[in-house]
């Protein structure tokens, strides 16, 4: 049952709404909860933690359908749905959210050149620098650890995309701005967020502006964001015109695209996709360290053996730190930031195992269910355990099919698979190695000395999910750690 065919608890949300309208004779839609006339399953769509409800539906109705969007059918499952609010927020210019047409292919090819496995190695020095700044910030202000993670991932993408020097301030306006924009986009794309997204309510898009707060808000945000994004690209153009050596992604885009507005949104599509995800994943990592202290000890043991106490880890240690690399895979599996991935749209009618899947169906893959399948990950799939990715000799192994050797599905599927995944894996590797080399991460205790453990089933809303706010102790592991960390910062002239 689990072979090259990808096992997907696909949530065919739009499907029920189509049911009364366009089912060809003798065809059968996949099973699912019974809906009401006209509005179908609209009110059954959970607005909070939908992947948990979809997981229940899958247990109740069976895996709704088996598809293979990883290869054979990838072509017809590569579009994005036509989101009304999201398209207002981006003016239809954010290519991670556009249809899989020729223009998207061109932009994606360009992004692949800038971020493939080989090119990603060129960013190692930037990633190490971000880790150094992050450790310094954590020493000074451990309570606000998530802000420092957010700074690090925004700063790295600003460097890669716009050639910026590292940001030193977690409250820099760019960090806050991109955070706000991503939040709005991901809410807009989450199932059930706006009535206007449902087939039978699409007419709402023609309502006058004065009647629709969602339209006014989205258009205002788009106008405001566009100004800022154009400034970012215009600044790159200015540096190029001045004859500076500008090697960033935005510079390449500007050389290929004359229109500044278009070039700026092309660049920002990468910038915004990279800013939120890695930092959210690090927040989950902190939670795993509190809840699974034995995994923390094993990772620190490896770091002590390979790196030792007198220097910080580097990418040169990569091959010798399999447990840290397994920790990266496991955190993306245990609490991946994208439990439903991003939505795909079916661009043609499809038939699969006797089921009819109509064109324009929105498909969410229930990655959460895949990641917690005990048949695949073992009886302890609910738990955080990096050892599942190691063989008996402690070497990294991944026998999970259709995951491009990742061992999990957090980077999505088919032709839309995350184009920044090499950079993301490298960032997670070096940040986690730095964090565990420098600190013990433990639970806070209450007045009676009992640990205050976070609930790892509490998430924020949206399609990229962080844990609900929680506290922890971040305590240097050795007396001279602060000196080594401060020295590393000074060596970089920061
Ligand atoms: C832990 C970190 C990350 C995770 C979990 C993640 C996850 C994802 C997912 C689930 C998708 C959608 C795939 C699909 O539609 O099936 C995606 C798309 C994308 N990601 Fe990432 N991502 C991460 C980091 C990054 C970084 C660092 C960058 C760039 C610097 C990036 C750039 C992109 C882009 C441009 C797309 C759109 C691809 C397209 O629509 O063709 N991501 N990512």
Q: Is 337 in the pocket of ligand 1 (CB under 6 A)?
A: yes
Model's pTM, two decimal places? 0.89
Residue 25 has what pLDDT? 43
Residue 12 has what pLDDT? 42
Let me know if residue 188 belongs to a domain.
Answer: yes
Q: Is 111 in the pocket of ligand 1 (CB under 6 A)?
A: yes
Cβ–Cβ under 8 Å, residues 139 and 476: yes
Cβ–Cβ under 8 Å, residues 346 and 65: no
Q: How far is the CA of 476 from the centre of ligand 1 (A)?
A: 33
Residue 287 has what pLDDT? 98
Q: How far is the CA of 279 from the centre of ligand 1 (A)?
A: 13
Cβ–Cβ under 8 Å, residues 69 and 6: yes
Which residues are 99's β-sheet partners?
none
Measured in whole angstroms, the distance separating CA 390 from the mean position of its chain's CA atoms is 24
Cβ–Cβ under 8 Å, residues 219 and 184: no
Distances, alpha carbon 335 to alpha carbons 248, 304, 468, in Å: 32, 27, 12
Residue 258 has what pLDDT? 81
Q: How far is the CA of 149 from the centre of ligand 1 (A)?
A: 17
Residue 88 has what pLDDT? 92
- Among 153, 339, 420, 423, residue to substitute to test ligand 1 (most atoms within 8 Å of Cβ): 420
Query: Residue 282 is encoded by which pair of tokens?
Result: 């690090």
Let me know if residue 95 belongs to a domain.
Answer: yes
Say how far apart CA 319 and CA 335 lie, in whole Å. Answer: 25
Let me know if residue 50 belongs to a domain.
Answer: yes
Q: How far is the CA of 146 from the centre of ligand 1 (A)?
A: 20
| pLDDT means over runs of 10, the chain (494 residues) | 35 40 52 58 64 75 53 79 90 92 91 92 96 97 95 94 91 81 82 79 87 91 91 94 91 89 92 87 98 98 97 97 98 95 89 81 88 94 96 85 84 92 97 98 96 93 87 92 92 91
| Binding-site entries for heme | 418
Looking from the CA of 56 toward its CB, the CA atoms found within 13 Å total 8
Say how far apart CA 38 and CA 17 lie, in whole Å. Answer: 7
Longest dimension (CA), the chain: 74
**Of 467, 244, 246, 463, which Cα lies nearest the Cα of 367?**
463
Helices (H), 116-172: 117-120, 124-140, 145-162
**Of 476, 488, 491, which Cα lies nearest the Cα of 142?**
476
**Residue 230 neighbours by CB distance under 10 Å:** 16
Run of H or E residues at 112: helix 102-115
Run of H or E residues at 180: helix 173-189
Query: Residue 42 is encoded by which pair of tokens?
Result: 């609209």
Run of H or E residues at 11: strand 10-12
Cβ–Cβ under 8 Å, residues 145 and 151: no
Q: Is 418 in the pocket of ligand 1 (CB under 6 A)?
A: yes
Let me know if residue 22 belongs to a domain.
Answer: yes
Per-residue b or e along 85-114, where b marks 16 or more CB atoms closer than 10 Å to that residue's CB: bbbbbbebbbbbbbbbeeebeebbebbeeb
> Strand, coil or helix: what is 432?
helix
- By residue range, what is the domain housing residue 44? 10-491
Burial class of residue 316 (count of CB atoms within 10 Å of its CB; 0-12, 13-18, 19+): exposed
| Ligand 1 atom with least separation from CA of 427 | 27
Q: How far is the CA of 389 from the centre of ligand 1 (A)?
A: 22
Looking from the CA of 432 toward its CB, the CA atoms found within 13 Å total 35
Let me know if residue 2 belongs to a domain.
Answer: no
Cβ–Cβ under 8 Å, residues 114 and 260: no
Task: Count structural domains, the chain.
Answer: 1
- Give the domain CATH number at 214: 1.10.630.10
Residue 11 has what pLDDT? 44
Strands (E), 302-456: 344-345, 350-352, 355-357, 362-365, 439-442, 444-445, 451-452
Measured in whole angstroms, the distance separating CA 68 from the mean position of its chain's CA atoms is 22
Residue 324 has what pLDDT? 98
Q: What one-character-per-residue DSSP string does 362-390 give?
A: EEEE-HHHHHT-HHHH-TTTTS--GGGGB
Query: Residue 269 is encoded by which pair of tokens?
Result: 């599509």
Let me know if residue 1 belongs to a domain.
Answer: no
Cβ–Cβ under 8 Å, residues 128 and 314: yes
Q: Is 132 in the pocket of ligand 1 (CB under 6 A)?
A: no
> Strand, coil or helix: what is 476?
strand
Residue 17 has what pLDDT? 36
Burial class of residue 423 (count of CB atoms within 10 Å of its CB; 0-12, 13-18, 19+): buried
Let me know if residue 3 belongs to a domain.
Answer: no
Residue 36 has what pLDDT? 53
Let me know if residue 400 belongs to a domain.
Answer: yes
| Ligand 1 atom with least separation from CA of 275 | 27
**Residue 155 neighbours by CB distance under 10 Å:** 26
């Amino acid at each position: 049952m689990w072979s090259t065919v990808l096992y997907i608890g696909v949530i065919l949300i739009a499907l029920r709404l189509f049911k009364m309208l366009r089912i060809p004779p003798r065809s059968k839609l996949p099973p699912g909860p019974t809906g009401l006339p006209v509005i179908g399953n609209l009110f059954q769509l959970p607005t909070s933690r939908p992947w948990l409800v979809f997981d229940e539906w899958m247990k109740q109705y069976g895996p709704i359908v088996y598809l293979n969007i990883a290869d054979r059918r990838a072509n017809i499952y590569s579009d994005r749905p036509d989101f009304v609010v999201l398209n207002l927020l981006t003016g239809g210019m954010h290519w991670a959210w556009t249809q899989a047409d020729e223009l998207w292919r061109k932009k994606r090819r360009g992004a692949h050149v800038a971020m493939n496995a080989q090119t990603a190695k060129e960013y190692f020095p930037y990633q190490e620098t971000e880790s150094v700044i992050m450790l310094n910030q954590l020493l000074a202000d451990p309570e606000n650890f998530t802000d420092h993670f957010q700074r690090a991932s925004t700063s790295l993408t600003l460097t890669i995309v716009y050639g910026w020097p590292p940001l030193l301030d977690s409250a820099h306006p760019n960090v806050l701005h991109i955070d706000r924009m991503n939040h709005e986009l991901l809410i807009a794309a989450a199932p059930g967020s706006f009535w206007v997204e449902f087939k039978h309510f699409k007419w709402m898009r023609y309502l006058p502006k004065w009647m629709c707060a969602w339209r006014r808000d989205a258009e205002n945000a788009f106008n405001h964001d566009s100004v800022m994004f154009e400034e970012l690209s215009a600044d790159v153009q200015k540096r190029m015109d001045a004859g500076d050596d500008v090697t960033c992604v935005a510079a390449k885009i500007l050389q290929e695209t004359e229109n500044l507005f278009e070039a700026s949104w092309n660049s920002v599509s990468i910038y915004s996709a990279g800013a939120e995800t890695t930092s959210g994943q690090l927040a989950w990592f902190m939670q795993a360290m509190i809840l699974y202290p034995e995994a923390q000890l094993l990772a620190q043991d490896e770091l002590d053996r390979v790196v030792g106490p007198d220097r910080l880890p580097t990418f040169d240690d990569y091959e010798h730190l399999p447990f840290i690399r397994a920790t990266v895979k496991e955190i993306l599996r245990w609490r991946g930031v994208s439990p439903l991935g991003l939505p795909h749209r079916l661009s043609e009618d499809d038939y699969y195992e006797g089921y009819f899947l109509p064109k324009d169906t929105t498909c969410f893959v229930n990655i959460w269910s895949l990641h917690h399948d005990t048949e695949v990950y073992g009886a302890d799939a609910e738990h955080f355990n990096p050892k599942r990715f190691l063989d008996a000799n402690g070497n990294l192994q991944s026998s999970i099919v259709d995951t491009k050797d990742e061992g999990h599905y957090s980077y999505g599927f088919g032709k839309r698979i995350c184009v920044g995944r090499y950079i993301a894996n490298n960032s997670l590797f070096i940040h986690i190695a730095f964090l565990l080399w420098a600190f013990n991460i433990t639970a806070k205790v209450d007045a009676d000395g009992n640990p205050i453990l976070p609930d790892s089933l509490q998430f924020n809303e949206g399609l990229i999910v962080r844990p609900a706010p929680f506290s922890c102790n971040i305590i240097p592991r050795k007396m001279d750690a602060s000196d080594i960390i401060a020295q590393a910062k000074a060596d970089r002239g920061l």
